[in-house]
Structure 1
Amino acid sequence: MKLTSAITAALLLAVCLPSVSVAKEHEVIITGFGFFPQTTYVQPGDTVKFLNNAEYSHRLIGEEDRWEVNVNPSERKSLTISSNFKSRYNSTSGSLEDGILSLSPPPQEAESD
């Protein structure tokens, strides 16, 4: 009887509790031509690691100067995504296109037959 009550309580708790999202780690590679991927889909709590494969340093600046990451050649630097995060960023060290860290869900991939 006690076992049945414990199992029932555990099942109710599992169903009633909100789902807990697990923070993910993403990598963005800085090349001499831009960011790969150009758009990365993130959620608050996730970590983005910027890997600089270019031959010169990059100073990455977030939209509205909300964040900054300096990355030397062959170096990797991390940024943790917060809830008040602004998504666009660029490098002041070159004419690269903006990168995007999107809080939107990623687009659905087409199913193959």
Structure 2
Amino acid sequence: MISQYRMKFDLVGQSVLLALALIVVLGEWWLWALTVVAGLALWQTGSAFHLLAAYAYRDRKPYLWVLGSLLILLPFKFWLAGYWSLVLLGLAAFTYFLITLRDTIVVLRRPRSFWDI
């Protein structure tokens, strides 16, 4: 059973990185934007692997496939579209954030177990 602390920690970490990514993109610091979006993608990939390995939570598998294919195609997309190729990575990261938010709400609504007290 996924703990409330784990989901809250994951959600706060993603929120901070997503807010930083929005600030950097709106400030038009493109090299920093690439760095922050890559950091967010690494955080989310680690989170997805942890949920898949530790809790056998298979709903995170599609994200790993999508992110993997986007990262493999990133040099080609970067050659074609430049910094606009980060939009797909940003959309994937935002979608994963929304899924994490939904799962956190579900975890917070369930009755607490003895080990969470």
Which has more helix, going by share of residues?
A: 2
Greater RCO, CA 8 A, separation 6+:
2
TM-score of the superposition, structure 1-length normalised?
A: 0.27
Which has more strand, going by share of residues?
A: 1
Q: Based on CA coordinates, which of the two structures has the bigger radius of gyration?
A: 1
TM-score of the superposition, structure 2-length normalised?
A: 0.26
